[in-house]
Structure 1
Amino acid sequence: MKIRLGLIVLVLAAMIAAPRSSAADSSAPRVALVIGNSKYPDADKPLSQAVGDAREFADELKRAGFDAELGEDLSGDAMRRAFDRLYQRTKPGAAALVFFSGFGIQSGRQSYLIPVDAQIWTEPDVRRDGIALESVLNELNSRGASVKIALVDASRRNPFERRFRSFSAGLAPVIAPSGSLVMYAAALSAVVTDNDSAHSPFVSALREEIRVPGLSAEEALNRTRTAVARASRGEQVPWISSSLAEDFIFVPGAATAEKPTAEKPTAATAPVEAAKPAPAPLEAKPPQTTEAKPASGDDDKLVLALASDPTVKSLTAQIVDKPSDGNAYYRRGQVYASKGAYRSAIKDFDEAIRLNGKDVEAYNNRCWVRTVIGELEPALADCDQALLLRPNFVDALDSRGLLHLKSGRDKAAIADFDAALKINPRLTSSLYGRGLARKRIGLASEGEIDLTTAKKLDPNISKEFAGYGVK
C-alpha cells in the first residue's frame, strides 16, 4: 500500500474549513534535538557546514517556541544520551523534531545517523554504531508525539563507503509512523558535495521557509525543495515523505501570500493539497470509515477546497503546459488520494497509465484507491498488473493483501502479506493485515502476535484499518 491516509473524507472536509488543531496553533509542547557532527577522524577534513548549520537552526527553532537541545561532534554514547533526553522530554500530544547534519549511511533499507567516533569497516558496524532514523521516529511515536519531524542533512559522500561491497550511496526511504514528516537534503540514494560557503543551501533555504508566519510545515519543506533544486539547477533535489494528518505550523500567524509561479492555472484545472514528495511516493495510506463509495460531489468539494495549494498548482501548470506528462498526472493523483479525493485520483492515475502502460506505481496506487472505495474487482486487476510488471513489488503485494482481506479471501491475503513481509519484515500494514487474517481462520495466537507487533511499531494502525472497513 502506498499512500496511507489518516483521516476519513467527511472529517477531512470539516478540517479544511475548521480552525487549526493544537499542533497547528502551537499550543502543544514542542521539543527538538539538533545535532551537528563535523569532526570525523576517518574523513580527510572536518565538514565545513555541519556545526554552523546546527547552531543557527537550533536558534531558529528556539525562536519558533521549541525547547531545543544542541549537540556538536557527538560520540555514539553522547548521541544515545541526547536521544534519551529527547524521548524523556516528549510528552503525549507533543511535536518532536530531530535535525541532523553530518554523515549518514543506508544499510538494510534503513538510514543511520553516524556519530563522530563510529568504527565502521563492515556493514554490521553501521547497525552497531549508527542511530537508525526509523527507530528514533518509532520511539517518539511510542512516547505519544502527535507530530514527528526529521530533517536530515547527511546525503554526503562518506569516508566509510569503500570498506564493504554492499554499500549503497545516500539515504534510504524511511518507514515512519503516522504523523511523521521526513526530509533529506538530497534525493534517495543520492549524494552532494559541500561547497565552500559557511552554510549548506539546504539548511539556508529551510531556515528561510520555516520562519514564514502561517506557513504549514509541509508547504515550508516543499518550498525548500523547490529553492534548493532551483539553486543547484536540478543537481540537488531534496526528498520529502509525509504522513501528517493535520497541518503543523512553525510560526503561527496569518498565512502569507504564495510565491509567484510562472504560470497560474485556472480554477477549473487546479486541484489538491500536496506538500508531499515529488521525487518519491508517499509512504503511507490512510483510511475511509465505511465501504460506501464517496459521492462525486464530496470529491469535487475537496478538489476545490485544496485548489490553492502551491504544489498542486505547479503540477497542474505542468499538465497544462505538457499534457503528455504522465509523471505529473501520477504525482497529482497521489495528492488527491492522500486527501480523500479518490475519484479525481483515479482519473489522474487513468491518464498516467494511458500515457505509459507500464507505469507500475500508477497501477498499484489505483489498485489501492479502488480498494478503499470498494471497487474490488477492478482493483484486483490493477494489483495483478502491477505485480506482472514488477514481480515481488512489496507495495503491490501489500495493496493486494488488503484487497483480499476486504473480500474475505483470508488465505490469499495471508499469502500476499507473507510475501511482502519476507521483503520488508517491518511493514506495519502487512503485519496488521496478516494478524487479522490469521485470527479469522482460527490462528488466534499467531494473529495476536502480528497485531501486537504492528501496534508497537504504529499505535494508530488499528484505527487505520478500521477506516478501511476492516476489523
Structure 2
Amino acid sequence: MGLKPMAELGTRFGGTVLRKMGMAAFLIVPLAACSPADTVDDLARIDTAQGSQENIGSLTAVIQRTPNDPEAYNIRGAALGRAGRYREALEDFNKAIQLDPRSARAYANRALIYRRMGDNANAVNDYTQAISINPNYDTAYIGRGEIYRLNGRTQEAFQDFERAIQLDTTDPRAYLRRGLLYQASNQHQYAIEDFATAISLSPDQPYGYNGRGVSYLALGDTENAFTDFNTAIRLDENLAESWANQALVYEQQGDKAKAARSYSRALQLDANYEPAREGLARTKA
C-alpha cells in the first residue's frame, strides 16, 4: 500500500504523553512512501510452498488422522490463507477455536483472515480476544494497531505498537508502523530511529529504507534519503513507491528528466499510484 499524504501522530518509546504536540497537530507531508500494511504477517511468514495444493492436501491428511487436534486446523488454516482461500481458512480457524477456545494464536490468525476479507470489526474483536487470553502476545497488538492506524484511530494504534515494543518484540512491523506515526506528526528523528530498528530486524525488506528515506528528505538530508531509496530499489525493484521516492530526490535536485523516468517506472509498476502520476505531470510540464 502506498503511503500518500500522511496525517497521523505518535508518542515515544515507553511513554503515554504525546511529544510536544496536540491531537490536532497533524502534518500533511507531500512525500511518497510505502506503508507496510501487509508486508509481514503471520500468514506471509509461511513459505509460499506451504500454500500449495500439495501441502494443503498433506495437512488435510493430518486432520483426517487427528480430527480433534486444534493445531492441525490452525496450520491448515494458515496455509489456506496463504493460498488466498479465505473462506476455507476461516472454517479451519473456527474449528480450531471450537476445539481450543483459549488459543490466542487461532484468534489472531482468524483476525488476519477477517481483515483480508475487509471485515475490520470482527478482526479487531478477534485480536482483542487474543490479547485477553495472552496479554503478552505481540502479534495481536501489532495486528490490531495496524487496523486502528489505517482507520485513523491514531492514539489507539500507537498504544498497541508501543505495547508490542515494550514486550521486546522482534517483529519489525511494530517499529515500521510506529515510525510512520512519528513521521506523520513531523517527529522525523524519532521516526528515523524506529525505521533503523526495523531495518536491523529485517534488513532484506525495502519498507524501512523507504520510510527512513522519507524522513531524511523531510529533514533536508538528501544524500541519506537517496541512499535509502536506492537500497529499497535494489532490494525490490518492483515496488512503485521506491521509484517514486527516488524521483522526488531527482526532482528536488532539479533533474526533471531523471525524475520523470523514475516516476514513469513507478507508474509502470502501479498505474494507480497517484504520487507518481502527479510527479510525472510536474516533471513533464
Task: Tell me how large the CA RMSD over aligned residues is.
Answer: 4.2
**How far apart are 1:232 and its partner, in Å?**
4.7
Determine the C-alpha separation between the residues in 2 that align with 1:7 and 1:235: 38
Determine the C-alpha separation between the residues in 2 that align with 1:356 and 1:7: 30
Determine the C-alpha separation between the residues in 2 that align with 1:381 and 1:433: 19
Contact 2:176-2:208 at 8 Å conserved across structures = yes
Contact 1:186-1:239 at 8 Å conserved across structures = no
Contact 1:241-1:276 at 8 Å conserved across structures = no
Aligned pair partner of 1:368 in 175, 180, 186 = 180
> Cα–Cα, structure 1 residues 394 and 416, in superposed 2: closer, same or farther, change >3 Å?
same
> Cα–Cα, structure 1 residues 234 and 274, in superposed 2: closer, same or farther, change >3 Å?
closer
**How far apart are 1:314 and its partner, in Å?**
0.5
Determine the C-alpha separation between the residues in 1 that align with 2:274 and 2:262: 12
Deviations 1:160-182 (A, max 9, x none): xxxxxxxxxxxxxxx9xxxxxxx
Contact 2:112-2:143 at 8 Å conserved across structures = no
Greater per-residue helix proportion: 2
SS at match of 1:239: helix
Deviations 1:407-429 (A, max 9, x none): 33222221101001111111111
What residue in structure 2 maps to residue 389 of structure 1? Answer: 201
Contact 1:410-1:438 at 8 Å conserved across structures = no
TM-score, L = length of structure 1 = 0.38
> Cα–Cα, structure 1 residues 464 and 276, in superposed 2: closer, same or farther, change >3 Å?
farther
Determine the C-alpha separation between the residues in 2 that align with 1:381 and 1:186: 25
**How far apart are 1:340 and its partner, in Å?**
2.4
SS at match of 2:225: helix
Deviations 1:232-272 (A, max 9, x none): 52121133699xxxxxxxxxxxxxxxx99969xxxxxxxx9
Deviations 1:273-316 (A, max 9, x none): 984359xxxxxxxxxxxxxxxxxxxxxxxxxxx9x811110000
> Cα–Cα, structure 1 residues 188 and 343, in superposed 2: closer, same or farther, change >3 Å?
farther
> Cα–Cα, structure 1 residues 387 and 193, in superposed 2: closer, same or farther, change >3 Å?
closer
What residue in structure 2 maps to residue 25 of structure 1? Answer: none
Determine the C-alpha separation between the residues in 2 that align with 1:365 and 1:343: 13
1:239 aligns with 2:81: yes
What residue in structure 2 maps to residue 343 of structure 1? Answer: 155
Aligned pair partner of 2:145 in 319, 333, 346 = 333
What residue in structure 2 maps to residue 462 of structure 1? Answer: 274
Q: How does 1:6-405 map to 2 (within 5 A)?
A: 187-189=46-48, 190=50, 191=52, 192-194=55-57, 232-236=72-76, 237=78, 238-239=80-81, 275-276=114-115, 309-405=121-217
Q: Which amino acid aligns with 1:194?
A: G
1:440 aligns with 2:280: no
Contact 1:5-1:340 at 8 Å conserved across structures = no
What residue in structure 2 maps to residue 45 of structure 1? Answer: none
Gaps of 5+ in 2: 9-33, 35-42, 64-68, 85-93, 103-110
Contact 2:240-2:266 at 8 Å conserved across structures = yes
**How far apart are 1:319 and its partner, in Å?**
0.8
Contact 1:349-1:362 at 8 Å conserved across structures = yes
Larger radius of gyration: 1
> Cα–Cα, structure 1 residues 425 and 275, in superposed 2: closer, same or farther, change >3 Å?
same
Deviations 1:194-241 (A, max 9, x none): 37x9xxx9xxxxxxxxxxxxxxxxxxxxxxxxxxx9795212113369
Q: Which amino acid aligns with 1:373?
A: S
Determine the C-alpha separation between the residues in 2 that align with 1:274 and 1:376: 33
Determine the C-alpha separation between the residues in 1 that align with 2:259 and 2:44: 40
Deviations 1:383-408 (A, max 9, x none): 12222334343211111122223333
> Cα–Cα, structure 1 residues 7 and 389, in superposed 2: closer, same or farther, change >3 Å?
closer
Contact 2:2-2:241 at 8 Å conserved across structures = no
Determine the C-alpha separation between the residues in 1 that align with 2:164 and 2:277: 28
Gaps of 5+ in 1: 11-174, 176-183, 202-228, 243-258, 264-271, 279-305
